Each structure stands twice: as C-alpha cells, then as structure tokens.
Structure 1
Amino acid sequence: MTQARLRVYILSLFLIATGIAVSTFSAFSLAPLTFQVMGVYWLFSLLYYHLRINSRRGSTSVEYGINYNVSLILFTGPFGLYLFEAVYRLIGYLYKKKTKTDEPGEGVQTFYNVGSFVIQGTAAYYVYQWLIPWFEGNLVAFWVLLFLLVTVTAVVSDLFLLGVFSLLGDIRTRADVAAFLKERSILDMAKTAFSNGLLLLFLEQRNWTAIIGLFVLNYLVSQSYLVKAQSAQDKHERNKYEHMAYTDFLTGLHNRAYMELKMKELEKTKEAIGIVVADIDKFKSINDTYNHSVGDRVIQHFAAALKAKAGTDDILARSGGEEFTMFLRGRSFESCLALVEELRQQIESDAVEAEFQDQTSRIPYTASFGLYFFTEQEEVPIEKGYIYADQLLLESKQLGRNRITVSPGQQHESSLSTS
C-alpha cells in the first residue's frame, strides 16, 4: 500500500510537470541557439554524472549533484527544462541499467526527478518574471534575485522530498523534519546561485568561451572536492573498521586485541603500572539461574563500574568472557589498591536491575581481583606482569572470592570478605 501511494504521488508530480510543459510550449523558441544551449548543458551534465553524491535516508537514496536548472529555465522556459530533464534522466537511467548499477525502483525515481525539477524550476521561473522589472539594471539586486530563485527551488525540492519520506515512513516527527531541513547548506545554495547567475549573463551575451570555461572550472573544482571527500570517507571507513576490530560490542570497552597492542606500547615506557585482573564471581550460576541475557546485563554493569573508576590515561579492556583487565598509570601501589578496594565494595553493595520472567529483578553479585604492581625496575616483560596479576586473581577465587590478592612483598591492606 505504501509503495502504491508513493507511485501515485510521483506520477502526480510528473503529470503536473508534463502539463506545465505542454501549456508553455508556445513560448518555447525553436531557434538553433536554443538547442545549442541545451546541447552544451546536456554535454556537461552527462560529464558531471559521476560527480553525483548519494545520501541514504532510511529506505531512500537521495542524489545530490551539480544543478544548473535555474539558468537553463530562465533562458529556455519551462518546456525547455522539461525536454532537458526528460532526455538527461532517460540517458542516466539507461546508463545505470547497462552498467547494472540501478537500484530497485530506479524507473519510478526517474519520473520523480523529471517532475520535481521541472516544477521547482517553474516556480523559480515565474518568481523571476514577476520580480525582474524591479531588479533589472541593479547588479547587486540581480545576485540577490538569483539567490532568492535558488532558495525557492530548494524549498520546493525539500517539500517534495518530505512527501516521499513521509510516505515511506522515514520521517515521522517534527524533529525528523527539522533534522532533514538542517542538512541544506547555505554555502551550496550560494555557490549554485553564483554559477547560475554567471551562466545566465554569459548566455545573454552569447559568450560561449566564458560558458564553456565556467563549466570546465566547476567540473575541475567538483572533481577535486569529490576526490577529497572520497579520501575523507576512506579514512573514516578505515577508522571505523579499526574501531570495530578493537572494540567489545557488548560493553563498548576495548577488547583483548587492543589490550595486547597497548601492552607492547607500555613495554617501552618503563613506568610503574598497577595491573588489575578482575572477574565476576560465580558468573556461570548467574547464567544458569536466570539466562544469558541477564548475564550480559551483569557484565555490562560490571564494565560500567570499572570504566567509572578508570582515569583518562588508564587502559581498560574486556580480556575474557567475564574477565576485565585494567592498567592503572601514574599511581602508587597504595593508590591502586585503594581504587580496587573501592570497586570491590561498590560491586558488593550494588545490584543489577534486569528483566527476568516479565518483571524487573535485582541481581546482586561480587567480584574478585588480582593486583600486580609493575615497577620501573621490573626485569620481566609487562606481559609477564599481566600473567602474575591473573594468577593473583585465581588465588582470590581459591581463598573464597570477593577479595583482592596482591603479590608477596606488596602490602595488602584491603578488607577480605567471603561470599
């Protein structure tokens, strides 16, 4: 039903545009100059075709590209723009079909583009006819008028797109509408107004050298912009995949791969580091008593508690299923021990709220910790220090859980409590 309504909407726009074109045919000039102008516009529009940028909103792909329709319709009238758009969009559609780059519904989108661009261009055309007697002869007023015409086309275009998005359910609230309208760039509108204004002046002067020069200049600038945009996008994609490679998606913390990478970096700093390995006590029984969804909530709760205590220079990672590792930097042994003890007590006194059997349950739990203080004078690699901390965690488990164990010779002042 949604797709049927969308087709009716798009067909209506196309039929309105066709009606406008037919009704204004008598004003269309059949002189060779008209077709020369349209030929140049077709040529450069097709050359610019690969410079289009597609932006996806929900289930809809919106295409942005170089647009010289304002200058063209002011020179040829609505029928001229209709003819231009029909030929240009048909060639684009056939090209996508041949290269197998067309999307589902590409044909319907072609009708939408023709209808939408002709209607918005016609709106600008009649605004121009209405205001030009007051603006003519004043160069500043002329550029103000051009920006006004581009604004008119932008407003009409946005209204049509909002109609499409509303029918598809991609826009539902006023906030969605506001977010969409904010995507419109004033700078891009000014650039469009300037380019169309120059083209219109050059067309009136029959200055073909300037016309072709402007098209070529805009092409080179747009090509450069596209290369930079693609480079920025590639860098963004690389950063995104690197982030994915080093992120634990259940907790949002770093994963073991990231931890191992950072341990190699810490090895070179020769600094004192408190290595803490922490583990949720009797986690299997939590999963068995409740379910794995509740178990995940406990892991997330524990991760959030650790993250809240970690400093900006500290390194925190999920190093196993319910096991986490912290590398506490810039602290003394006593400071590291105090921080871990605060964590232990906080976990012991808190509880996780989770949905279980259609009600919210409070699930208490405890955690055990192993703390190894890696000094500047250590002769063993930091990976060995991590293994020591892991062994100390195992001792905490064997001694009754819910406690902190440190290596022999390192002062242990924490209170011990058994579960």
Structure 2
Amino acid sequence: MRVKLFIISLFSISFIVAITSNHLLIENKTYFIALGLYWLFSTLYSHLAVIVKKGKVSMDYGVTYSLSIGLFAGPLGIFIFETLYRTTVYFIRKFTKTADPDEFLHIFYNIGSFALNSSIAFFIFHKIYPFFDAFPLGYWFVIIILVIIMSLLSDFYLIALFSFMGDIKNIKDAIDFIKSRNVLDMGKIAFSNGLLFMFLLNQQWEMLVGLFLLNYLVSRSFMEKNQSIQHKVERDKFEQMAYTDFLTEVYNRAFMDKTMNELNETGEKIGIIVTDIDSFKRINDTYNHAVGDHVIQHFAATLQGYLREDDYLFRSGGEEFTIFLRNRNYNECVALAERMKDGVRDNPAAAEYKSYPIQIQHTASFGLYYYITCEAVEIKKAYVYADQLLLKAKDMGKNRLISKNGVSDLPLSERFTNN
C-alpha cells in the first residue's frame, strides 16, 4: 500500500506541475513534430532496454530522451510525451505478453518520475544557464549537472520504493545502490540529450533523426554483441559440462575422442598413457562404492598434479584414465610416468568408512606408447597399443610401467622398457 501511495503521489505531483505551467513553450506544430519523433524513437528504443527486476519494481536501463524534450517544451510538454510513450510501451508489452503483473502501476511511476525530474531540470536550467553562458563549454557543464541531479532524484525515488518493500534496510544499502549507477550511461544520456536539445532549438530535424538513428544502431549493435557473447559463454558452459566427468571433474571419454581427432593431424610426438588402479574391485568389496569413488577422485587428482597445462587427462573408464603427454621426448615421458606410479603408491587416499576416517593404500599400473601422429598408425590405434601395454603390466604383477617407443627412426633395442 505504501508503494502504491508513493507512486500515485509522484504521478500527482508531476501532473500538478504540468497543469500549472498552463501552456506549451513552443508553437503546437513544432511541438507535435518533436513529439512524434520522440515517441517513435523512444518506443523503438524501448525494445533494446535491459529490464532489471528488484522486488516488485521493474527498472528499464537504457538511454532516456526526456531531458531534451523537457527543456524544449516545458513541464506540460514532457508530461504529454511521457504519458504517450509509457502508455504505448504498456500496450506493446501487454500485446506481446511480456508485461509484469504490476505493469499498469509501473506506468504511473515512469510517467511521474521522468516527467517530474525533467520539469525540475527545466526550472534549474533556466535559473543557472545565464551564469554559465559566457564560459567555454558552459552549456555542456549545465547539461551534465542536470543529468547528475536527475540521476540522484531517480535513485531517491527507487530507494524510497525499495525501503517500503524491505529491500533496502539501512543507509549503507542506499549508498551501495547509488554507487551501482553506471557513469558511462550518465555520460551517454548527457551528450545525447544535449545535442538533441540543440537540434530542437534550431529545428534541425534531419540532424535530430540522424542522432536518434545513430543511438539506436549503436545500442542495437552493442546488445547483439552482448547476446552473442552470452550465447558463447552458455555454449562453452554446456560444452564443458558435456566433456567433463562428473565424479573427477577431468575430461571424459567423449572429449578424449574429440581430442584424438584434433591431435591426429598435428604431426607432433605424443606419449599416450593408459593407467588404472590395481585391484580396484577389492576396494569396493572391502568397503563400499562411496569409498571407491573417493579413491578414484584421489587417483585423478594425483595424476593431474604431475601434468602441464598442455597435457590432457581423461577418465576413459571406471577406474581407468588416459593421459596425453605433449612436447616431451620419449625418455621424459617414461620418467614422468615412473614418478606418477610412485606418487600413487606413496600417496594413500583419504576416505570415511562407518563414520571413521580411513587411508586407502593403492597402486596403479601404466602402459605408455610414444609415437608421432600422422604416421601409419593413427592415434586411436596408438591408444589401443597403450592399453595393451597396460594389460601386460597387470599380467606381470601390477604396480609397474610397460612402455614402448613407436617412433620409427629409433633402433628397435631402444623402443622397449620394462620397469
């Protein structure tokens, strides 16, 4: 009820100010030309405004042209414009089914606040402009002052509304709300309205229409770029979700297949490691699957800790992981795989079992195949070779690394190691 009373009071004050001004300051023909142009482009621009909801109030963030027509036509002229423009936007939103439940009440707030602010700016302008007229850029200094005053008044109205609704509870909240206003938007409003007012005074309709169109095209371009960026962010987020293993948060098998296709044409030397936890079924049978999941997570984190930014780690099976080591020679890949193997063995996983903390000692076996992409063997075949080397490591007693250097220009005696 207090919100409604405040809005109706704001509208009533602006209406009284408009009526008591008695008449338009310009001839009717000139005013109606200006009114038609402002109504057309303001309505067009309303589709580009960003609507932000706070509490029960919707705020449109966008350039407003109220100041210029208010300075030109006076309180009655701005009240007529705001009434026509806000009513048109209301019916458009009702027709397109984008109106809020309290949209009709918002009309009165928008008409009242914008018409009253522009009327106040009108009176201030005619009081202080003669003192600045003689100074260089004095006109623009006055316009900037008016925009600042109007912005502070708008903030005061909204702070009052949010206080009634309980969204603003103290002075700090009010100050933070005022600080959230964008200075660049205020500058755009000041210079747009300053130029428009000059064109109105000189009845330069072509220039006025040109500025309207320029503002519209720039705003629409900016909005479309923002939407494009937002869509890319959303696509990247969904792609990340699609390519991320939910348990370990490393890449999944789908991303491994995608990466294989990309790397297969690079011609680079890659160390492909396939590894899994030894006797993992025994861990699940001894404890439970929740403990097993902790071990898998710990295993993945341990492996990740040894990798560089350009390497890849994938969860390619239940407790099986695949690693692509890049920009290393064969001996470096073997040494790194050895360190991984020892790190897994020496770093037990922490878990909880029957409400007690436990340490799960575990080991892993590794198969490493090193080769150059784009040779006779494609990367998916190389992955199979690495997997076969892993199985060989398992057969030979687990907790070991079996590797092969598949680079064709090395002697056969240097292509195999057994650790």
Give the TM-score normalised by structure 1. Answer: 0.78
Match of 1:375 among 357, 367, 371: 371
Structure 2 Cα separation of the partners of residues 146 and 288 of structure 1: 78
Residues 372-409 of structure 1, C-alpha deviations (whole Å, 9 max, x = no match): 22223964322122123233334555566544343596
Check conservation: 2:402, 2:417, Cα contact below 8 A: no
AA at the equivalent of 1:336: C
Check conservation: 1:318, 1:325, Cα contact below 8 A: yes
Does 1:265 pair with 2:271?
no
**Offset at residue 285 of structure 1 (A):** 3.9
1:3 matched to which residue of 2? none
Structure 1 Cα separation of the partners of residues 171 and 369 of structure 2: 55
**Offset at residue 184 of structure 1 (A):** 1.5
Match of 1:26 among 7, 20, 28: 20
Structure 1 Cα separation of the partners of residues 161 and 306 of structure 2: 48
**Which shows bigger deviation, 342-351 or 304-313?**
342-351
Does 1:133 pair with 2:123?
no
AA at the equivalent of 2:89: G
**Offset at residue 196 of structure 1 (A):** 0.3
Count of aligned pairs between the two proteins: 404
Structure 2 Cα separation of the partners of residues 404 and 279 of structure 1: 11
Match of 2:6 among 2, 8, 12: 12
State the SS of the aligned residue for 2:268: coil
Residues 14-43 of structure 1, C-alpha deviations (whole Å, 9 max, x = no match): 522432332442115245244443332112
**Which shows bigger deviation, 86-95 or 297-306?**
297-306
2:287 matched to which residue of 1? 289
Q: Go from structure 1 to structure 2 and tell me whether the alpha carbon gap of 1:122 and 1:302 turns closer, same or farther (over 3 Å shift).
A: farther
1:209 matched to which residue of 2? 206
Check conservation: 1:369, 1:392, Cα contact below 8 A: no
AA at the equivalent of 2:186: M
Structure 1 Cα separation of the partners of residues 357 and 171 of structure 2: 34
Does 1:410 pair with 2:416?
yes
Mapping 1:239-258, distance limit 5 Å: 239-258=236-255
Match of 1:190 among 172, 187, 191: 187
Match of 1:305 among 297, 302, 305: 302
Q: Go from structure 1 to structure 2 and tell me whether the alpha carbon gap of 1:97 and 1:321 turns closer, same or farther (over 3 Å shift).
A: farther
Give the TM-score normalised by structure 2. Answer: 0.78
State the SS of the aligned residue for 1:51: coil
Residues 263-314 of structure 1, C-alpha deviations (whole Å, 9 max, x = no match): 122222333321112334527845983664x655554443333333211221
**Offset at residue 360 of structure 1 (A):** 8.3
Structure 2 Cα separation of the partners of residues 398 and 237 of structure 1: 46
Structure 2 Cα separation of the partners of residues 360 and 104 of structure 1: 54
Q: Go from structure 1 to structure 2 and tell me whether the alpha carbon gap of 1:108 and 1:20 turns closer, same or farther (over 3 Å shift).
A: closer
State the SS of the aligned residue for 1:278: strand
Check conservation: 1:276, 1:326, Cα contact below 8 A: yes
2:382 matched to which residue of 1? 385
Mapping 1:327-406, distance limit 5 Å: 327-351=324-348, 361=357, 363-376=359-372, 379-397=376-394, 401-406=398-403
Q: Go from structure 1 to structure 2 and tell me whether the alpha carbon gap of 1:305 and 1:72 turns closer, same or farther (over 3 Å shift).
A: farther
Structure 2 Cα separation of the partners of residues 64 and 211 of structure 1: 22
Does 1:64 pair with 2:61?
yes
Check conservation: 2:18, 2:79, Cα contact below 8 A: no
Q: Go from structure 1 to structure 2 and tell me whether the alpha carbon gap of 1:402 and 1:245 turns closer, same or farther (over 3 Å shift).
A: same
1:417 matched to which residue of 2? none
**Offset at residue 154 of structure 1 (A):** 3.5
Structure 2: stretches of 5+ with no match in the other structure: 406-414
Check conservation: 1:341, 1:404, Cα contact below 8 A: yes
Structure 2 Cα separation of the partners of residues 354 and 320 of structure 1: 21
Structure 1 Cα separation of the partners of residues 32 and 177 of structure 2: 41
**Offset at residue 70 of structure 1 (A):** 1.5
**Which shows bigger deviation, 301-310 or 360-369?**
360-369
Q: Go from structure 1 to structure 2 and tell me whether the alpha carbon gap of 1:182 and 1:16 turns closer, same or farther (over 3 Å shift).
A: closer
2:150 matched to which residue of 1? 153
Does 1:76 pair with 2:70?
no
Q: Go from structure 1 to structure 2 and tell me whether the alpha carbon gap of 1:196 and 1:238 turns closer, same or farther (over 3 Å shift).
A: same
Residues 101-140 of structure 1, C-alpha deviations (whole Å, 9 max, x = no match): 3355544544444444345545644553553232234350
Name the larger-Rg structure: 2
**Which shows bigger deviation, 135-144 or 246-255?**
246-255
Structure 1 Cα separation of the partners of residues 144 and 303 of structure 2: 55
Does 1:142 pair with 2:148?
no
Q: Go from structure 1 to structure 2 and tell me whether the alpha carbon gap of 1:218 and 1:266 turns closer, same or farther (over 3 Å shift).
A: closer
Identity of paired residues, percent?
39
Does 1:44 pair with 2:41?
yes
Q: Go from structure 1 to structure 2 and tell me whether the alpha carbon gap of 1:82 and 1:20 turns closer, same or farther (over 3 Å shift).
A: same
**Offset at residue 143 of structure 1 (A):** 0.8
**Offset at residue 69 of structure 1 (A):** 1.4
Q: Go from structure 1 to structure 2 and tell me whether the alpha carbon gap of 1:108 and 1:248 turns closer, same or farther (over 3 Å shift).
A: farther
Superposed CA RMSD: 4.1
Structure 2 Cα separation of the partners of residues 262 and 91 of structure 1: 54
Structure 2 Cα separation of the partners of residues 170 and 331 of structure 1: 59
Match of 1:88 among 85, 88, 95: 85
